[in-house]
Structure 1
Amino acid sequence: MSKVVLITGGSSGIGKSVGEYLSQKGFIVYGTSRNSTKIKNHPFKLVSLDVNDVNTIKSAVEEVIKNEGKLDILINNAGMGITGSIEETPTSEMRKVFNTNFFGAIDVMKAVLPQMRKQKSGLIINVTSIAGYMGLPFRGIYSATKGALEIVTEAIRMEVKNFGIEVTNVAPGDFATNIASGRYHTPVFENSPYKEVYQSNLDLMDTHVNSGNDPIEMAEAIYKIIKTSKPKVHYKVGSFMQKFSIVLKKILPDTIYEKLLMNHYKL
């Protein structure tokens, strides 16, 4: 029987690319969107789900299970970006991003685990970010949300392994998607002490996304993870330098690594 996949944030970007790819490989794919009824001619099924609303999470999971009788794979992909200096970014906006990227992902895991435990099988893939391995200037809160999800995945992976459920992280680098348009951008204030350097970093971030890799690479990587009988704890998908930056962080003294980042971001 074809495996049933639920992808949060499946209406665009990486989620859409992954869903389309897995559909072509014979999986039964459900994506999610906060307003699924407004999206027409999507390449796979969509259900309404808002990761900040546990009632919609519960309803979406129940709908998939009712339709298919099972739920084999969760790809926790829904997320949002945020930019700005720590000093000038509203704490309320920081909480919103944590609610989406971190607590939202946890709530979706909570919703699917009872069914996977009942089946004595299941796979959860949490989409994090290479940015989650380091504190990046003007993206510190985004890095923190993804880093937190990486750590929680390490913990829950051990908690559910005896139930036949596997949990893993996959951390993408920069991909050519519409993520920049969905970010919360702290304004570049005219009288800000960060004005020039923040603006130049915003331009750099947008350039990285616009020149990023094709999201099909993430789809192929996730397909390989699904086909692996014993997934690793962490996977990274991105350019050589993006993945190598994680290696450098492990082997270089903190201050040397910090200087490399500051030079890269012209700080």
Structure 2
Amino acid sequence: MSSNPMTGERRSVVITGASRGLGLASATKLYKRGWRVVAAMRSPDTGMKVLRAATGAGDDDPRLVGVALDLTDPSSVTAAAKAIEDAVGAPYGLVHNAGISAAGMVEETPTELWERMFATTIFGPVALTKELLPSMRRAGAGRIVLVSSQGGVRGMPATAPYSAVKGALERWGESMAGEVAPFGIGVTVIVTGTYDTDIITDAGTTDCRDLAGVYARHHQTMDKRGRAAMKLAARSPEKFAEGLAKALDSEKPFVKTAIGPDARMLLIANRVLPSAGLHQMTRLMMGIPRFGAMRSGGSSND
């Protein structure tokens, strides 16, 4: 479904982080389904070549528009919002997909990384949404989609900044949904499972781990188990794109949904198990030593 049910016009969607991974797959899927796609990315000169090759679109195709967007730069956000409205007017869909990943314990991750993580995942997206909401309200229809992850459901060891921003993203979406629903705008929070993209590889992650430091024992076990789990669980980004296309068709004021079997299982476990139980389950799955096992002079047996 690519037409606006209120006007019959072709619907438009803005996707951030559209040059790679889930964003690239989603932009390609929606374009092929007839949407007008505004692909927001840091480097359109290179990213749009990849996207046009994936979609088969020509350089002057009005249904595929590239917009420069650096979510950490307020002036770039303002310029991107103007470019979006100049290209498609009020977008029907606004998909906040862009994000960065990092590995490292809280002690190991620098404050600058936390700041950059929040700027990319929270502050920039909030600013872009604020710029576009007036036109979306006037249009009386639309859907804002926030791409979260399993880390937004449950804080995961060695990814505290990432888990923190995804948790904040979900609380933002829940709050905003109550505000914009009376204007005909819905909000969807998508909890993603594990997908085969750069963000789960060394190439897509800022690695802050000190493999010879006090958390070396954690890292050795967690790295081995994490890579094995990702190899088993990772699905094609196209599977996510199919779920996103369905999410954009929702007419409910607020939806929180999982895309991927591992994400669905976590949402169920989060509803059924107490928080302490989930903590223990996470510890055992990741091979983290038991409470107190690494105290000075304490036993190292798990």
- Unaligned regions of 5+ residues in structure 1, if any? none
Larger Rg: 2
> Is 1:74 the counterpart of 2:83 in the alignment?
no
**Is the Cα contact below 8 Å between 2:153 and 2:167 reproduced in 1?**
yes
> Is 1:186 the counterpart of 2:195 in the alignment?
no
Cα deviation digits, residues 168-213 of structure 1 (max 9, x gap): 11110110011132222113242x1111321432344444445411
**Is the Cα contact below 8 Å between 2:44 and 2:66 reproduced in 1?**
yes
Q: CA RMSD in A?
A: 1.7
Q: 1:155 is matched with which residue?
A: 175
Q: 2:40 is matched with which residue?
A: 32
- Unaligned regions of 5+ residues in structure 2, if any? 1-8, 53-63, 289-302
Cα deviation digits, residues 209-229 of structure 1 (max 9, x gap): 454111112111111122222
Q: 1:134 is matched with which residue?
A: 154
> Is 1:89 the counterpart of 2:82 in the alignment?
no
**TM-score, length of structure 1 as denominator length:** 0.93
**Is the Cα contact below 8 Å between 1:82 and 1:184 reproduced in 2?**
yes
Q: 1:42 is matched with which residue?
A: 51
Superposition pairs of residues 1-267 of structure 1, within 5 angstroms: 1-39=9-47, 40-43=49-52, 44-179=64-199, 180=201, 181-190=203-212, 192-211=213-232, 212-230=234-252, 232-239=254-261, 241-267=262-288
**TM-score, length of structure 2 as denominator length:** 0.82
What is the CA–CA distance in structure 2 between the aligned matches of 1:41 and 1:182, rounded to whole Å?
17
What is the CA–CA distance in structure 2 between the aligned matches of 1:244 and 1:185, rounded to whole Å?
28
Cα distance change, pair 232–156 in 1 and its aligned pair in 2 (3 A): closer
CA deviation after TM superposition for structure 1 residue 71, in Å: 1.4
CA deviation after TM superposition for structure 1 residue 166, in Å: 1.1
SS of the residue aligned with 2:84?
Answer: helix
**Is the Cα contact below 8 Å between 1:8 and 1:77 reproduced in 2?**
yes
Residues matched between the structures, number: 265
What is the CA–CA distance in structure 1 between the aligned matches of 2:142 and 2:274, rounded to whole Å?
40
Residue identity over aligned pairs, in percent, reads 29
What is the CA–CA distance in structure 1 between the aligned matches of 2:151 and 2:256, rounded to whole Å?
14
What is the CA–CA distance in structure 2 between the aligned matches of 1:143 and 1:41, rounded to whole Å?
30
**Is the Cα contact below 8 Å between 1:131 and 1:146 reproduced in 2?**
yes
**Is the Cα contact below 8 Å between 2:102 and 2:206 reproduced in 1?**
yes
CA deviation after TM superposition for structure 1 residue 104, in Å: 1.9
**Is the Cα contact below 8 Å between 1:126 and 1:170 reproduced in 2?**
yes
**Is the Cα contact below 8 Å between 1:128 and 1:149 reproduced in 2?**
yes
